[in-house]
Structure 1
Amino acid sequence: MPGLDDHACQSAYSDPGQYTGLIDALPSDLPGIGEVVRNLLIHYRGGGIEFTGDRLAEIDNRWIDTLIGVDQSRNGDPLAVPREPFNRVVGCCRDFTLLTVAALRHKGIPARSRIGFATYFAAEFNHDHVVTEYWNGDRWVWADTQLDPADGGVFDPLDLPPGTMISAAQVWTDYRRGLVDPELYGATDEFKGAWFIRDYVYLELAHRMRDELLLWDIWGEMSADLPADLTATDELAALLLAADAGDPTAESALTDLYTPPLRPTTTVQTLSPTGHHRPTTLRPAA
């Protein structure tokens, strides 16, 4: 099962490869890393610029070395040198998080990406979101480096308070207990509801196991329709929550479960927001 030492090592997705030297030069503190991440990336929907064509296609750059390569082909400067917003790499919350995770792992700090729903982007809707979770020496801390702490929000985005970001497993469990309306959780009016939450439980497991897939990758048990029997998803969500609570038996059980079809094999189907739907060949796990 992935332990602290595993989370301090790069995955196939977070490995900067030939750009390791550029990561060497980054700050070692989370605020400094976050500043660089926001300098390199712009959100494809929330960045205030409408991107189309090849620029919008940058959202499908799943590997960090590819993402940095796009930046370097366009800018060619050290990563901390300011970029104009239009010249930043187009991505989403998953990319802000994975670049943060890559930088922390490079510094020997255990880190992983967490999948769930944020309560702080809209008053009456909980948007799908990905944030960083890192080990500060005493506990796992959830941090959203897409947000600038200098903007003066009501909470510190680098140490998210309970209830601001809720894991997919917790939302699924609350839905199954009748505690939440699933129609208030999702990405858009089209992509929301119980089926969407269920798919994100499987995505949460993959990211926990260091397969930091795109939010629009699908494989295995994922479906836009709810199956008749939801027991397997209930049990998986319960294990994820128990592992979050520090239960090593649950953590070990998740590792044992993470085989096909829960684990993607060599390909996934990518249903990109660009409108291009295609199979994608994955790199071998690191």
Structure 2
Amino acid sequence: MPAPTLFDYADHSPYSNPGNHTGYFTELSTDPEELHRFVCTAVVHYRADGPTLTDEQKSDPDRRWLTSILDAAELRAPLDGPRTQAQQVAGCCRDHTLLTLGVLRTHDVPARSRIGFANYFVPSWNADHVVGERWDGKRWVRFDSELDQKDFDFDVHDMPTGPESPFVTAAEAWLAIRAGTVDPATYGVTTEVSYLHGKDFVRSYVLYEVAHRHRDELLLWDFWGPQLGTSSVQEAAGGQAAAWVRDAGLAGVDVSDAEFDAVADELAYLLVAADAGDGEAADQLAELYHGDSRLHPGNRVLTLSPTGHDGITDLTTR
């Protein structure tokens, strides 16, 4: 299967499709500042913004489908009106980006999400993060729709790219770790939990980056393939992951750490090459992703959510 085309990126994935809210999305502006205001009005970060979540909001971060996010938002307040924090949907950077993709794709603008690490939130820390890219007719323009321009000294709507940029892709971070040029302990969610930062964490994010590049915009706590056999997943699941994975018959659990390292190396090299305009690398990446049952999520994934929802998720149901 060849790499996604601009036509593919302009079309909705199952995750970004606004469904019965499409009519409303056609009325929204694709102006970056307008998109920022819209997505940050609809979604409040469940953790970074420090909100006190209502009982209704506590399950919001597991809303992986845009239709579900919008349904919840509309039930709490009109989509086109102001809303209190309690009326927002609790989510994260992935959800801010997904909302933006939903608007852009509704207007036939090619757009995609990118997984990586931002160094602009906490000094000397590379926070796991999701940003977006939109095609402007000549190139992919990277943006962070969660950010208010006045708070940052770079263009949040046209971010610089590459290993020295404020946001590095998971592939760039992984290759830097493998080269020994960065400290893996400075990448992740927090240093307070062993499995939420470090080399293995970044390696897992390479798989997320590949999935999102191919329009499978999964949650950052959905796991599949070689992720399933890692000690990090076992620790996060309190020892229950092996039984869940076995009962669900998920593939990839038998991949060793060394094999996962090698897989991540290949995927990361191809991702970086594809970003540099290598069409052959992009096609090879797509062939690997779709052709190896361990690398794409299939119909079921293991979910280990910060909401406490743990278990097998059937992606064929909504």
TM > 0.5: yes
Which structure 2 residues correspond to residues 249-268 of structure 1 after superposition, within 5 A? 249-259=280-290, 260-268=293-301
Rounded Cα–Cα distance in structure 1 between residues aligned with 2:309 and 2:52:
18
Give the whole-Å Cα distance in 1 for the aligned partners of 2:180 and 2:50. Answer: 37
- Aligned counterparts, 1:33-72, within 5 A: 33-51=35-53, 53-72=55-74
Aligned: 1:200 with 2:205 = yes
- Indicate the SS of the match to 2:60: helix
Q: 1:276: Cα distance to partner? A: 1.9
Q: AA paired with 2:287? A: D
Residues 33-57 of structure 1: CA distance to partner in whole angstroms, max 9, x if unpaired? 2211111110001223122644121
Give the structure with the larger helix fraction: 2
1:227 has 2:254 as partner = no
In structure 2, relative to structure 1, the CA distance for the partners of 1:52 and 1:188 (3 Å cut) is farther
Give TM-score, length-normalised by structure 1.
0.95
Query: Is residue 104 of structure 2 the alignment partner of residue 107 of structure 1?
Result: no
Deviation of 1:158 after TM superposition, in Å, equals 1.0
Q: How much is the aligned-residue C-alpha RMSD, in angstroms?
A: 1.4
One-letter amino acid of the structure 2 residue matched with residue 249 of structure 1: E
How far is the alpha carbon of 1:258 from its aligned partner? 1.1
Q: Distance in 2 between matches of 1:165 and 1:65?
A: 28
Moved more, 119-128 or 275-284: 275-284
Over 3 Å counting, the alpha-carbon distance change for 1:54 and 1:96 in structure 2 is same
Matched, 1:240 2:271: yes
Q: Which residue type is aligned with residue 286 of structure 2?
A: T
8 A contact 1:12–1:283 mirrored in 2? no
Task: State yes or no: 1:98 paired with 2:98.
Answer: yes
Q: Residue by residue, what CA displacement relative to the aligned partner does 1:111-147 show, whole Å, maximum 9, x if unpaired?
A: 0000000010111211000001111111111100111
Match of 1:270 in 2: 303
Q: Is the 8 A contact 2:54 2:86 kept in 1?
A: no
Runs of 4+ in 1 over 6 A off after TM superposition: none
Q: Could you say what secondary structure the match of 2:129 adopts? A: strand
- Which letter maps to 2:133? E
Structure 2 residue 75 is the aligned partner of structure 1 residue 73: yes
For 1:203, what is the secondary structure of its paired residue? helix
SS at match of 1:228: helix
Counterpart mapping for 1:94-243 below 5 A? 94-149=94-149, 151-162=150-161, 163-189=165-191, 190=193, 191-222=196-227, 223-224=230-231, 227-229=257-259, 230-243=261-274
| TM-score, normalised by the number of residues in structure 2 | 0.85
Structure 2: runs of 5 or more not aligned: 233-255
CA contact (8 A) 2:116 2:167 kept: yes
Mapped partners of 1:20, 1:252: distance in 2: 31
Given that 1:168 and 1:204 are in contact with CA atoms closer than 8 Å, whether structure 2 keeps it comes out as yes
Does structure 2 retain, via aligned residues, the 8 Å contact 1:39–1:80? no
**Number of residues of Structure 1 aligned to a counterpart in Structure 2:** 281
Per-residue deviation, 1:83: 1.2
**Runs of 5+ unmatched residues, structure 1:** none
Cα deviations by residue, 1:155-193 (Å, 9 ceiling, x for unpaired): 121111231100000000000000111000001121000
Give the match's secondary structure for 1:221: helix
8 Å CA contact 2:131, 2:143 repeated in 1? yes
In the superposition, relative to structure 1, how do residues 255 and 72 fare at CA in structure 2: closer, same or farther (>3 Å)? Answer: same
